[in-house]
Structure 1
Amino acid sequence: MESEPLIAGRGRDEHLGAEEALLSSEILEPAKEALPLAEIASGVYALFVAGLVASTLGAILPQLEEYYQLSDKAISIIFLCPPVGFFLAAYFSRSLHLKCGRRVAVIIAPVCQLTYALTASQAPPFPVLLASLVAVGFFGLMDGSLYAWVGGMKPAKTVIGLLHGAFSIGAASGPFLANAITSAAHRPWYTWYYVLTAFVFLELPCLAYSFWQHDVESFHVENGRKNIRDEAEPDEEPSPQSSFSYAATWIGSAYVFGFMGVEFTVTGWGIAYMNRVNEGSNLLGGACVSLFHLGLAAGKLSLGVMTRYVQVQLLVTSFLCLALLSQVAFAVSTIPAVSVALMALLGFLLGPLYPSGIIMMTQLLPREVQVAGISFVNSMGQIGAAFMPFVFGLISNRFGIEMLVYYVCLQLALIIPLWLWFFRLH
């Protein structure tokens, strides 16, 4: 055998038998590839851009209502469109990975985001804008793929926290940038989409370059097959629905549904709430939502550190209870500065919830169904992110936007038993 690259512990292997040396090499190789920095960096940027895209609707919601002359009930339809794309992405995710590899999945996602940004930048009729929002839901292809891939790494908690923290930083930047460009600079709402198009356009070559080696053969090897032919036996190949037979998929889906419902209800209606209840400006409302997302980012990025000293079950349960108390304080607060601070605190307390749930999924599901399972869970999360803000739009139209705080409290109260049930499976 020709000379091999030197790795840590190679000198010790020379004293082992041939079979033991081969086994040692196989064990050491995953550790060697545990931190592919190019892929992680591009994934972080992709999640940052996804945060910008996700926070855009809440940032410009008051301007959309004014531009299209719509009520709270009518404008809330925009929250229902992205889950259509996410469900399609979850359904085709497994077969797409098997036939095309991971790199195709991560390239399709920014192409769909670019379609949405370019369409919205032209200030199209409202039905066309709704249709373009379906395309942005195909980000779920990359979302589930990245988290399933990272879940197999040794520092999964840290990397997943980094990825979702990047999403929160992007989501925090979105309201501030959008309102700085539109409200502060007195530009129309669709001007923001010119900037968003540039961010997405840069994302595409970054992902294509860093994930180019993640072809179909690489995906099959990663999931325990020797070659593509190993999928020839249909009875041995898990279907996209194979993850449905695991309780973790359904409980995790309900948990992520609730969490995403809280997050997007706050970010979707937070600016409108601050404008109408606290008589603030779009800029003040944008600052409130931005600080909420910064709190989310801080909570997610600190997950790896906190779980070194506190068990995940206790950490998440405690943070959920504290988040509920913070919303009770928010309900009685009439000072804008205090409300903004409490919103930032809520973000920090909610930060570890999602990455903790994804880590649980990677530990409870077999590796061969993790892509399909996590994609489905994320799709259910997107339904929560759409359905719960939509329902609040109906409530706000009937009872007033003052009901936002009580609505969020109810959601948090329902998530607590879901987390305890989810953790018992582990």
Structure 2
Amino acid sequence: MSRTTRGSSIELHWPSQLTCYTECIEMELEAVERNNQRNEAGYETPPAPAAATATSLPQAELTRARMFKLSSAAFCFFNAGVNDGALGALIPYILDEYLISTAWMAIPYGVGFVGWLAIAVFGGYIRMKTGTGGVLLIGAFLQFAAQLLRFWVPPFGLFSVTFFLVALGQALQDSQANTFVAGLKNAHRYLGLIHGCYAIGGLVGPLMAAAIASNLDGQWAAFYFVPLGIGAVNLALCLYAFRDEVRMPPRLVAGSEGQQAGEQRHSTTALVELRATLKLRPVWLLSVFFFLYLGAAITIGGWVVEFLVEVRDGNLSNIAYIASAFYGGLAAGRFLLAEPTFRLGEWRTFLAYVLVALALEIVFWQVANVAVDAVMVSFIGFLLGPAFATGVSVGSQLIPSELQASGLAMIFVVAQAGGAIFPAITGVIASRAGVGTLQPIVVGLLAATVVSWALVPNPRRKIA
């Protein structure tokens, strides 16, 4: 059986970069949960102190123990970056192995989104039952289990299921690692560090994947021994660093009125919070922005290899490395552009970044030169690098502090939908009209991203 069209895609990590305000909300919710558990167990609860505002809660100093936890959180993101970044370089080999067209890549994208959506719905419940350490351990184990299923080249259906497991694990670790780091003193620096580690993983992953797949004829799946080993280290680090934050679920007492009342309180509070969040205009505007931005970013990073092979007639063993150029630019942008973006004004500066990225994408489209294309891809990644940090920072100024946790959760679920839908649509179109359709699709997405960001209110102008 032969095929005439191949596709490449990539699963991009959902960096739900929570702010310090979000961490404060999490701390307050955990305190309420602990008090509820003590009441249901028959303990006497001391009088509650005066309610603290989100900004009044102190940030934690970086002690030796927290340094280990910070290192573990950073490694969580590096682990995710290696997994996500490698897929773009491996997809041509995967399509050859399973004899499928690019349209079939809608399946891994779809099941990955379902995993993220599941944690958006049930993640809070899991955290209340197992604690921060428990959530991180579960997330690390799920990703490790997914890699165990990949290296022996399972049937495509089971291979697709591994994307669901990875999405579950990444979503669990993403949220809790962000929440922990956001509670540290000088959190903006450490948030940049952990998300930079993701981009470094995204840079390293394609390099290793391309080297293994091109040098071991027919043994591309041997690459998955690499994330399997990294996943084992991730699991061990989480177990050691967060061992004091693992909470075993309390034994439920059948028919307990206190338990039933507590469950009812949680359900009512969650419903009220959701309704209030859905009424916020900035939440919807930022959701549209991230929906388009993440769709554009994943489509670029995932399809660039296949485009250069099919349209530019590049050699796959060499072109596969160009997937790292995008992530290299992404990493550099996250480390180098955060401070100047903040000082020059986040809203207008990022608008300029996206406009320049759009211009570079048009150059990529029109100039049929692989070397030029590689440079353009790296600069596009560089300019899009600070998107998540900037979007969350602007959102924290537009969304009321008491609704930021639920607001950001909704924003990132919608973002992940964009990251799943647009690459899948690109694959379907490419299977019918050719991979050359990538460029007009990406140009359209970046243009729409510019418009969507322009519609987001400028916090400085609003305050003024």
| Same fold by TM-score greater than 0.5 | yes
Aligned to 1:267: 301
The 1:27–1:269 alpha-carbon spacing in structure 2 relative to 1, beyond 3 Å, is: closer
Aligned partner of residue 456 in structure 2, secondary structure: helix
Aligned partner of residue 307 in structure 1, secondary structure: helix
2:270: which partner in 1?
238
Q: CA deviation at 1:127?
A: 0.8
Q: 1:169 aligns with which of 200, 208, 216?
A: 200
| 1:234–1:410 CA distance, 2 compared to 1 (3 A) | same
Alpha-carbon contact 2:85-2:324 (below 8 Å) kept: no
Matches within 5 A, 1:9-24: none
Conserved in 2, the CA contact under 8 Å of 1:256 and 1:380? yes
Q: 2:418 corresponds to which residue?
A: 384
CA deviations on 1:157-193 (whole Å, 9 max, x unpaired) are 3322222221111111111100101113335121111
1:345 aligned to 2:379? yes
What is the aligned partner in structure 2 of residue 7 from structure 1?
Answer: none
2:331 matched residue in structure 1: 297
Equivalence map 1:9-408=2 (5 Å): 29-30=58-59, 32=61, 36-138=66-168, 139-153=170-184, 155-214=186-245, 233-234=265-266, 237-239=269-271, 241=274, 243-366=277-400, 369-408=403-442
Moved more, 352-361 or 331-340: 352-361
CA contact (8 A) 2:338 2:386 kept: no
1:333 aligned partner, one-letter code:
V
Q: Distance in 1 between matches of 2:126 and 2:406?
A: 11
Distance in structure 1 (CA, Å) of the matches to 2:226 and 2:388: 28
- Mapped to 1, the partners of 2:344 and 2:56 lie a distance apart of 29
How big is each residue's C-alpha offset from its partner over 1:358-407, in whole Å with a ceiling of 9 and x where there is no partner? 23344444555544443333332222222111000111112211111111
- Which segment is superposed worse, 186-195 or 86-95? 186-195
Supply the distance in 2 between the matched residues of 1:108 and 1:363 (Cα, whole angstroms).
33
Change (3 A) 1:365 1:39: farther
Q: Which amino acid aligns with 2:177?
A: L
Contact preservation (8 Å) 2:347, 2:458: no
The answer to whether the 8 Å contact 1:168/1:293 transfers is yes
Structure 2 vs 1, CA of residues 28 and 147 (structure 1 numbering), >3 Å: closer, same or farther? closer
1:157–1:303 contact (8 Å) kept in structure 2: no
Cα separation, 1, equivalents of 2:367 and 2:141: 43
TM-superposed deviation, 1:245? 4.1
Residues 85, 203 of structure 2: 8 Å contact kept: yes
Return the offset for 1:244: 3.5
Shift of 1:28: 9.4
Q: Is the 8 A contact 1:164 1:355 kept in 2?
A: no
Following superposition, the deviation at residue 154 of structure 1 comes to 5.0
Q: 1:33, 1:57 → 2: CA distance?
A: 35
1:161 and 1:303 in contact (8 A); partners too: no
Amino acid at match of 2:81: G
SS of aligned partner of 1:280: coil
Q: Distance in 2 between matches of 1:147 and 1:182?
A: 33
Q: Structure 1 pair 31/203, CA: closer, same or farther in 2 (3 Å)? A: closer
Question: Could you tell me the percent identity over the aligned residues?
Answer: 25
- Provide the C-alpha distance between the structure 1 equivalents of 2:344 and 2:189, rounded to a whole number of angstroms: 15
Superposed displacement of residue 99, structure 1: 3.0
How many corresponding residue pairs? Answer: 392
CA shift, 1:41, in A, is 1.6
CA distance in 1, matches of 2:316, 2:441: 22
Distance 1:55 1:238, change over 3 A: same
| Residues 106/292 of structure 1: CA separation in 2 closer, same or farther (3 Å cut) | same
* Structure 1 residue 307, shift from structure 2 partner: 3.0
**Cα distance between partner residues in 1 of 2:408 and 2:230:** 26
Aligned-partner Cα distance in 2 for 1:317–1:348: 14
Distance of 1:88 and 1:68 partners within structure 2: 28
Q: What is the CA RMSD across the aligned residues, in angstroms?
A: 2.8
SS at match of 1:32: coil
Distance in 1 separating the partners of 2:218 and 2:226: 13
Distance 2:280 2:68 in 1: 33
Q: For residues 27 and 75 of structure 1, do their structure 2 counterparts lie closer, same or farther at Cα, with a shift above 3 Å needed?
A: closer
The superposition leaves residues 204-233 of structure 1 with CA deviations (integer Å, 9 ceiling, x where unpaired) of 12123223344569xxxxxxxxxx9x9674
TM-score by length of 2: 0.77
- Greater CA drift, 43-52 or 413-422: 413-422
Equivalent in the alignment of 2:4:
none
Rounded to whole Å, the distance in 1 between the matches of 2:385 and 2:362 is 19
2:153–2:221 contact (8 Å) kept in structure 1: yes
Cα separation, 2, equivalents of 1:27 and 1:174: 41
**Structure 2: gaps of 5 or more residues:** 1-51, 249-258
The one-letter amino acid paired with 2:111 is C
Which deviates further from its counterpart, 206-215 or 284-293? 206-215
Q: Report the TM-score when normalising by structure 1.
A: 0.84
